[in-house]
A and B are shown apart, each in its own frame.
Chain A
């Protein structure tokens, strides 16, 4: 039995050695399961080199992928936390605290002012890692302030959407962000400025049914989920199997809802090219 103990001991020492390796050194592709070096994966814009799965990325990564170096983060308006004093299994204020502790930003939508291959733009990014990107009063207010800044700067507004939908903990007030964001977009349009939507994984619910579907141009990242109703809800309603690729970027493209599906490495150049056509008018 001594050989077995020896193997056991060496195995446990292997385990101990492994603990010293930072646990984020490797990352598993959520689609194909391939183990990837985190560094390589991030250098590849969080796209799996094996299956081309576009992983979810946070605000800062997204901004630095789209904007030229030296962009400026814009402050978001502060709104009242927890307007309904909402509590489910946890208090909403505790959920917010936890989200803020785990994220460099104060809520799920952050704007930045900068250039995209030299074209000035205000870019808003919705962060799925902050309470599933959900749209509450803070997100609505940030969206409006991003659009207002774009109008002031005579620059286009670009939004990268990602949301599980409306933030239920803010009840009806989250629903009211749909018309609120739409008011801002009407003003952007009246100012003659372009509005481009980059749909990323996932974009659903009230976000899709308002500012995500009102773009002059809709770009979607490959494979991303885009829809109004949740798949489980639809399945419970129709009691049939959902079609292959349902609510994915390519499916929406085939059904005329997005202009193009663009891989992440080509996103910045695509935006710059679009802006070169759309920001042609003399200011």
Chain B
């Protein structure tokens, strides 16, 4: 059972009408298959046209959809032999940021990403995808390890932001993010980052300072959440829609600004309507990018990545 977003209500209405007709048909011997087909076609068209014209704020809601696939789903659908590695060797383990060895279409990589959880219990376990310093320090550790053993790094970014809490601040949230960003930039191996859901602020950039940055079609990536931006600049979170528009948070906008290199298409109606298809397209895009980068020498990899970030916003 799919859960509909507010702007999908007209589609939801059609779908429930179709379901009703089917029930009626099953009870009697009225032939309504023509009507059902007509409505199904109408519903599919409406879904496609709605998703072609999503506003930045609607995309934010799609990116946050509770059924949208995330890290553990992609691990299952894209990667084989995932070997999770735990701990920052300093303080503890952080389940909001997961990482380890993994294989994608026969290529061995270091896979790191945010995990949000999919129900109340797992969302609490994974702290809603909001990493703490130990999570970012674990990511730094795993990236350094990958660099030493020649494993390309793949990250799946999906976070509202780094966790804003007292202990996180005390243990150096800012320093941990800064060091993880630095670790990305220091990698002598290819690094491909994908914003699969929400890319929120420093907590995202710490895992996304990559050679190539990809975004799923309806993912969003921003310096602050639209609600946060609206609270500060418009003085009310109600203006989140305006803030999302003004900040240019969509994959399409960010591609235009040369902040990301590639948009990975999602199935009609968003990744949550067909996770398998999403995973397949993402897997192929990742392999293409990794193979391209794999032809560069370590010095070229570092130099190109540095140039990438020095150039952003300069033209």
On whether the beta carbons of A186 and B186 are closer than 8 Å, the reply is yes
Q: Are B172 and A212 in contact (CB under 8 A)?
A: no
Instruction: Give every chain A residue within 8 A of B164 (Cβ-Cβ).
Output: 228-230, 233-234, 237
Binds A, one of B8-16, B22-30, B114-122, B174-182: B174-182
Q: Which of A55-71 contact B (CB under 8 A)?
A: none
For residue B242, which residue of chain A has the nearest CB? A88
> Does A224 reach chain B (CB closer than 8 Å)?
no
**B172 and A171 contact, CB distance less than 8 A:** no
Task: Answer whether residue B3 sits at the interface, using C-beta atoms and an 8 A cutoff.
Answer: no
Provided the pairs A168-B229, A171-B247 are in contact, do residues A182 and B234 lie with their beta carbons within 8 angstroms? no
Interface presence of A144 (CB below 8 A): yes
**Interface check A255, CB cutoff 8 A:** yes
A175 at the interface (CB under 8 A from B): yes
Which residues of B (225-248) have their CB < 8 Å from a CB of A? 228-229, 232-234, 242-243, 246-248
What is the predominant secondary structure among interface residues of chain B facing chain A? helix
Find out whether the CB atom of A228 lies under 8 angstroms from the CB atom of B169.
yes
Collect the chain B residues with CB atoms within 8 Å of residue A179's CB.
181, 184-185, 205, 209, 309
Bitwise, A200-217 to B at CB < 8 A (1) or not (0) is: 000001101111111000
Q: How far is the CB of B97 from chain A (nearest CB, A)?
A: 15
**What residues of A have a CB within 8 angstroms of the CB of B60 in the complex?**
none
Q: Tell whether, in the assembled complex, residue B209 and residue A255 are in contact, meaning their CB atoms are under 8 Å apart.
A: no
B232 and chain A: residue at smallest CB distance: A168
Q: With A182-B209, A255-B171 given, is the CB distance from A144 to B202 under 8 Å?
A: no
Judge if A261 is at the interface, Cβ distance under 8 Å. Answer: no
Chain B residues with CB below 8 A from A115, complex form: none
A175 contacts across to B, CB distance below 8 A: 201-202, 205, 222-223
A246, B168: Cα distance in complex, Å: 12
A229–B169 CB distance below 8 A: yes
Tell whether, in the assembled complex, residue A172 and residue B223 are in contact, meaning their CB atoms are under 8 Å apart.
yes
A173 within 8 A of B: yes
Contact pattern, B 171-214, Cβ under 8 Å of A = 1, otherwise 0: 11111011101101110000000000000011001100100000
Contacts of B247 in A (CB 8 A): 84, 86, 168, 171-172
Is the beta-carbon distance between A137 and B314 smaller than 8 angstroms?
yes
Give residues 182-224 of A contacting B (CB, 8 Å): 182-186, 205-206, 208-214
Which single member of A185, A237, A256, A257 contacts B165 (CB below 8 Å)?
A237
How many residues of A sit at the interface, in one of the four size bands?
35 or more
Q: A88-B233, A171-B248 are in contact. Are A176 and B313 (CB under 8 A)?
A: yes
For chain B, which range describes its interface: under 10, 10 to 19, 20 to 34, or 35 or more residues?
35 or more
A211 adjacent to B178 (CB under 8 Å): yes
Q: Mark A75-115, 1 if CB is under 8 A from B, else 0.
A: 00001100110111100000000000000000000000000
Q: Is the CB of A238 within 8 A of B248?
A: no
Nearest-neighbour CB distance to chain A for B276, whole angstroms, equals 30
Contact B313 A79 (CB under 8 A): yes
Say if the beta carbon of B1 comes within 8 Å of chain A: no
Are B209 and A228 in contact, with the CB atoms below 8 A? no
> Which residues of the other chain, B, contact A184 by a CB distance below 8 angstroms?
310
Give the docked Cα–Cα distance between A213 and B182 (Å): 11
Nearest chain A residue, comparing its CB with the CB of B235: A89
Asked if B154 is an interface residue, CB under 8 A from chain A, the answer is: no
What is the bound-complex CA distance between A229 and B132, given in angstroms?
Answer: 12
From B173, B181, B257, contact of A182 by CB (8 A): B181
Contact A172 B221 (CB under 8 A): yes
Q: B162 within 8 Å of A by Cβ?
A: yes
Return the 3 tightest CB-CB contacts between A and B, nearest first.
A229-B164, A88-B233, A208-B174
Sample of 7 A–B contacts (CB below 8 Å) = A180-B312, A206-B201, A210-B202, A228-B162, A228-B169, A255-B171, A256-B172
- B residues near A (Cβ < 8 Å) are 162-166, 168-175, 177-179, 181-182, 184-186, 201-202, 205-206, 209, 221-224, 228-229, 232-234, 242-243, 246-249, 254, 257, 259, 306, 309-310, 312-315
